[in-house]
Every structure is written in C-alpha cells, then in structure tokens.
Structure 1
Amino acid sequence: MKQPLRCWAEIDLAAFERNLKCIQNALPDHMRYVAVVKADAYGHGMPQMVRRLMQSGVDYFAVANITEAAEIRHMGSGWPILLLSPLLPGEESQVLAHDLIATVSTAGECERLNELGKQHDQKVRIHLKIDTGMGRLGVWHEQAEDFLKSIADYSHLKLEGLYTHFSSADSDPEFTQLQRQRFIRIVESIDYSKLLIHADNSAGIDSLSKDSPFNAVRIGLLQFGIAPYPKSALGAASVEPVFSFHARIGLVKELPAHTDISYARSYTLERDSRIAILTAGYGDGIPFELSNKGSVLIHGQHCPILGRVTMDQTIIDVTDCPEAAIGDTATLIGKNGGKEITTVEFSDLVGTISWETLCSITKRVTRLYTGSREI
C-alpha cells in the first residue's frame, strides 16, 4: 500500500510551460530572456524547471552561487550562466571549470579574476554591476564611468554585460525612474552594442523599446505565475500559478468551550468545537506568524488556524466543516473546492513577500510534478 503524503507541494508543469510561452510572446524580438532560477528555482525544484526552460529556448540563466550554477551546467552546455552574487576567495577557479559569467563590483574582484585568466591563458567572462540606488552589490554609479575605463587594463577579462537592480520597482516609480536614468547615462557613455544590458523584470515598465539600450530582462517570480509588479508591461502577461501547498488532516476531535489551544494557551475556544490537526507545521514551511490568524481550505471552506503553529502540526477549527475527516486535504496555497488562497494573499497575511514564502517551504515537503510529460 502506497504511503500517503503528510505534506506536499504540487508543481503544475503544464502551467509553467504556458507561462514561458506567454512571457516570450510578450518580449520584443530584440529582448533576451534571462531565467533566474536561484534558491532551487524559488522552491519549485531546479532540475525540473531548468529542463523546461532549456526546452523553451531561454537565452541565459542566472543563479546565486557556484553550486547552483554547476547543477545547471551539468544539465547542458549551451547556455550562458550568470552568477549574481560575489565570489568568495578560492571560488574563482570554478568560474572557468563550469564556463560561468561572474558579476564584479570592485577592483579587487577584477584583479582576482584577471589573475585566474592569466594562469589558464584565457579570458574570464564578467558582467559589471552598477549600484544606482539599491545599496547592495555594484560599483557606485558616480564612479562607474571611471571603473569601466579601468576594466580595459585587465587583459584577461572579457566584459559581456552591464546591469543594475531597482530597489523599489513595486512601490516608488519616481525613484525607479531615477535609477534607470542613472544607469542609462552610464551605459550610453560607452559602446554597448556588443553587451548584454539589463536591469530587472520591471524594466518592462518603460524600457523595452528598441530605442533604449536594454536588450535583456531577468525573469524570476513571473515565470512561476506570480506577477511581482502587476502594473508593468511584463506583469500584465497572462500567467497562472504553478505552485500549490497542501497538508493532510491527521486527527479530528471534539473539545468543550473554554479549552485553551496549543503552546502558551494563546487561544481559548469560545464554543464547543470540532478541531482538526494538520500533519505539518513550521518545520514544513507553515509560518509561525499564521498562529491565530489565517485559514486553510478544506472541501472549499475556509477553516481558521487556532493557537500557535507548532513544528510538525497545526490546529484548525472544522466545527463549521462537518464533512472534514482524517486524511482529507487541507490547502494552504492554491485551489480547493472552487476556492483559492493565492501565494500573494498567504504572504500578505504573514507580513512577508511571495519570494520568501516560496523559498521557505522546506525540503521535508515532497514536490509533486503534474500536468506535463517527463523530459
């Protein structure tokens, strides 16, 4: 007898493939698709997602670190792979070993990579990141023009791209426009005709015309069916959710009014109640912040979460859902019985963002892939 799953995420591969086609159709012909698949493809599973991205014909991949890049490189040799994070000393040799593109922000990084190129008598491919107001990686925009001139002094570096990152594309269009103007000014100070020029997926707001220097966009969350910036040109693409998150009811019991629930007795029943215990908790990715708020869907009905979420179990009220029974599916994110809890709604309730929600579903949660033939 097959062992039932206690907690699982379903990844709709057919929806993912439709999203890719939709995004590609929305991009101008000159625009390159850089697929961001860091953090295990935002919790969806890198191998399964990358195989379909390769089949769909994306141009580039972008990841956070060497380990992620190596996993992609083992799957295929034809795609450029950009490392978005800085390299630690000692990691440089892996850039050539896996044919990767490094991000640089400082002279020290250029020196280390140039020395690597000298040792192996080949050029190391790089993208220069420019800090236009994010305050994270990148050479500060006021020093960027001088820095670009200095790169020519490194005989074993090959500059292949320039990029920046917008800090507030979803909330501050004026500052985003200022960042864009700073970046474009720097780009237009050089011959950029052979470089990849990219900001982020919100570059779709204003900068996808052939008259601008942008010729690539980095697509992350959108390919998984969540529009990070709904008002942008790409955010308006008709994408659909790929990810859903479920658990089982492991126990149903009756408790009298005035019973305290879970650790610290943070909730007290106001009536005689029927409660259910879900076989998942914060050890699976149900946030502790959902304690005493939020709900799950059972038979298409919202059932409130009671008391503190615990490591392996979550208590819910099924008094008004009499058909709820042991073994039933409780949906935390996704559709159930004609109702839906979206990733955005789930994240808003927790006080976080969709990126963190997807990355926080732990490895203990089985990923089930549905809706497409295996590749």
Structure 2
Amino acid sequence: MDLAAFERNLKRIQAALPAHMRYVAVVKADAYGHGMPQIVRRLMQSGVDCFAVANVSEAADIRHMGAGWPILVLSPLLPQEDYFLIQHDLTATVSTLDECERLNSLALAHSTIIKVHLKIDTGMGRLGVWHDSATELLAKISTYPALKLEGVYTHFSSADSDPSFTQIQRKRFLDVIATTTALPPELLIHADNSAGIDTLSSPSPFNAVRIGLLQFGIPPYPESALGRVAVEPVFSFHTRIGLIKELPAHTDISYARTHRLSRDSRIAILTAGYGDGVPLKLSNQGSVLIRGQRCAILGRVTMDQTIVDVTDCPEAKIGDHVVLIGKNAPNEITATEFSHTAQTIPWETLCSVTKRVTRVYVGSREV
C-alpha cells in the first residue's frame, strides 16, 4: 500500500470539492482491503469530516483510534447491537418507524440522545424508507425527543450504467427534501459517492459526498465530476515464483485439465491462489507481470498456487517478484483491468485479498 499516494489523492479530492461540501470517508470492509488503522489515521490527519462503515464492529475500531469523529453506520443494526451507538457515540442509519421507536426508547432509558441519518429508497430496493413515505417518516422523527436527525441520504443503483434512472432517483430524493419543512440547517444531505457525483457544478441542497474507491486511486466512473481528479493507485498485489519446471507439449495443466500445452514449455508456479485472492475466473484468462513481461495464467487457479507460462521469459527464476496488480516497468495491470478479466468489479477485487496476504505499507510517516 502506497500511503504517500493515498495522501496525495486525499489532497486532490479535497481541492476538487466545493468549500461547503463535506467529505464522508467510506472505510468499510477494512478500508476496502487496504487496512483500516493505517488508512483511518491518514484520513484523520487530512481532516475529513465523517467516517462511514458497515457495522458497529468497524465503527468501534475507529472510535478506539480517536474520540469526537462522526461515524455513520451504513447498515441496519440488530436490536442487541443498539447499545453500541451509545457506548461508542455512533450515528445510526434508520429506514423504518420501528427502528426509530426502538432507538428512541433506548436513548430515553439511558438519558441520552442517539444521532441518526434517514436513508431514503429512491430505487435501489435495499435499505431505506420508500420515497413516497419518506416525508411522513421525516416528520415523525422530529417528534422523538431522544433522536437527533443529522442526515438524510439515498443510494444510486446504476450510476455507472443508467444515467436516466439515476436522474429519476435524484429527482425522487430532491422532491422529498423540497416537500419537507423545517429541516435542521446543519443536516447532512448526501446522495452521491465516488461512482456518480453530479452535485458539484450546480446549485443543490447537497452538502456532503461519500468517497470510497476514488480515495484509493481507482476512479469508478471517469465521466463523473470527481472521476477527472488525477488520483494514483494505492493498492498493489504481489507474489513470487516458487518453482520453475519444463514440461513437454501436449501436457495437461492443473485441475480438470482445462489447458493443454501447445509446445514444449517452461512454467512457473506462483505462491498465491484463490486462497489469497486470485480469482478462479482468471484461469486460462489472466496474466501477471514478471520482469516487466506479461506471462499468461495456464489452467485452473488453485487454492495456494497459480501456474503461468514463462517460456518467453527465459530470465525468470525462482524467487522472482510477480505483479498481479500494479506496475512492473514497462507494463502495468490495473485493478480495473484485473477485475474486468476476472468478470468482477474493483470493489470485490480489493475486498477479496485475504488476511493471509501480508500488507506492506510504503511512503508512511510517523503518526
């Protein structure tokens, strides 16, 4: 992980945001596989406005790193988790009247206030109160003495592929905001994330944006407003050659014999497989970089090893550094290319690199 690149990304993103726009740093799933402690510390130093996580366990990890930071829990809480909101000073996402009543009762019982963001379902079909009922629930929240409404937000389902439907979702959300009276002036209003920002160049009530993948140097959709920010990859994925051997033409390779050598070949066995985060879909499809040269993956990726063709890379030897994602001059395999070849998305790629893969941080500074 290149922490210096990460810090440069943060500065560029912050410079691109209007002065009134709050930066909500999404760091769920161990900061998208980058390592939450290292990433969160840099975000704190850079002065982001809020953190967003998936659950109370992730939120507690951040709270142990620093008091006072607003932390939004994006997923619904189980009733037995509610007290963590009070214990760690967290902000809950609510979607239903039942959740509001439950949290209000808990807060009253402990003589405190619980902060909430209301999520509005404008077409994602996941969390959130359906937009036709959102105005009513917003009004109801204001009557609960132990709840403090700190934000209202939605989530776009197809920001990358369906701009027309995204505009429908945006209008549904804005209609709710427009028809709701007496919203707190400090309320965070957010709909966009790295994938589909369209609120930076025109007047709107939006005053916050959720930044996830972009801060790690991967523009989700380059056509979005922040997609044009020049960010640098933070994440790279490496392994080594554990064995090299010669095999004759017509030899079958790996499980199920899905590849047969067309020539006498020199193959390298890499010390990483799907147990480390090399997707099975890269079998017979992907490539790696060895000594700056692309080498094809042969046969099925296995749990602990991957087989590649180094016949045309005669300099390759045992112990050589191998790049799965990253630069190896003069070539590069980006996370986006890797994901496309594996028929997945960069979010899954980053989150799928397992814990047995050692995280190495470069460009760090004392904290």
Structure 1 residue 256 and structure 2 residue 225: aligned? no
| Residue pairs, 1:120-139, within 5 angstroms | 120-139=110-129
Deviations 1:148-179 (A, max 9, x none): 11112322111111000000111111111111
Match of 2:237 among 230, 233, 245: 245
The residue that corresponds to 1:271 in the other structure is 263
Say whether the 8 Å CA contact 2:194–2:219 is kept in structure 1: no
The residue that corresponds to 1:233 in the other structure is 225
SS of corresponding position for 1:201: coil
**Aligned partner of 1:337: which letter?**
A
The residue that corresponds to 1:215 in the other structure is 207
SS of corresponding position for 1:249: strand
Say whether the 8 Å CA contact 1:30–1:210 is kept in structure 2: no
Deviations 1:158-203 (A, max 9, x none): 1111000000111111111111111011112223322100012258
| Residue pairs, 1:331-342, within 5 angstroms | 331-342=323-334
Q: Which runs of 5+ in 1 are unaligned?
A: 1-10
Counterpart CA distance in 1 for 2:354 and 2:35 is: 11
SS of corresponding position for 1:306: coil
The residue that corresponds to 2:286 in the other structure is 294
The residue that corresponds to 2:357 in the other structure is 365
For residue 205 of structure 1, report the CA deviation from its aligned partner: 3.9
The worse-fitting range, judged by mean Cα deviation, of 354-363 and 142-151 is 142-151
The residue that corresponds to 1:85 in the other structure is 75
Q: Which runs of 5+ in 2 are unaligned?
A: none
Say whether the 8 Å CA contact 2:55–2:73 is kept in structure 1: yes
For residue 223 of structure 1, report the CA deviation from its aligned partner: 0.2
Say whether the 8 Å CA contact 1:160–1:195 is kept in structure 2: yes
For residue 204 of structure 1, report the CA deviation from its aligned partner: 6.4
For residue 209 of structure 1, report the CA deviation from its aligned partner: 4.5
Deviations 1:31-77 (A, max 9, x none): 00000000000000000000000000000000000110000000001
Counterpart CA distance in 2 for 1:33 and 1:62 is: 10
The worse-fitting range, judged by mean Cα deviation, of 194-203 and 335-344 is 194-203
The residue that corresponds to 2:60 in the other structure is 70
CA RMSD after TM alignment: 1.1
SS of corresponding position for 1:16: helix
SS of corresponding position for 2:204: coil
**Aligned partner of 2:96: which letter?**
T
Say whether the 8 Å CA contact 1:201–1:234 is kept in structure 2: no
Match of 1:46 among 25, 36, 40: 36
Say whether the 8 Å CA contact 1:82–1:103 is kept in structure 2: yes
TM-score, structure 2 length as denominator? 0.98
Say whether the 8 Å CA contact 2:3–2:364 is kept in structure 1: yes
TM-score, structure 1 length as denominator? 0.96
SS of corresponding position for 2:75: coil
Counterpart CA distance in 1 for 2:162 and 2:206 is: 21
Percent identity of paired positions between Structure 1 and Structure 2: 73
The residue that corresponds to 2:295 in the other structure is 303
SS of corresponding position for 2:360: strand
Counterpart CA distance in 2 for 1:374 and 1:234 is: 29
For residue 146 of structure 1, report the CA deviation from its aligned partner: 1.0
Deviations 1:183-233 (A, max 9, x none): 011112223322100012258643124720000000000000001121111
The residue that corresponds to 2:17 in the other structure is 27
SS of corresponding position for 2:226: coil
SS of corresponding position for 2:12: helix
The residue that corresponds to 1:6 in the other structure is none
Structure 1 residue 55 and structure 2 residue 45: aligned? yes
Counterpart CA distance in 1 for 2:198 and 2:14 is: 18
Match of 2:141 among 141, 148, 151: 151
Say whether the 8 Å CA contact 1:203–1:217 is kept in structure 2: no
**Aligned partner of 2:57: which letter?**
T
Count matched residues. 365
Counterpart CA distance in 1 for 2:301 and 2:229 is: 36
Match of 1:281 among 273, 278, 285: 273
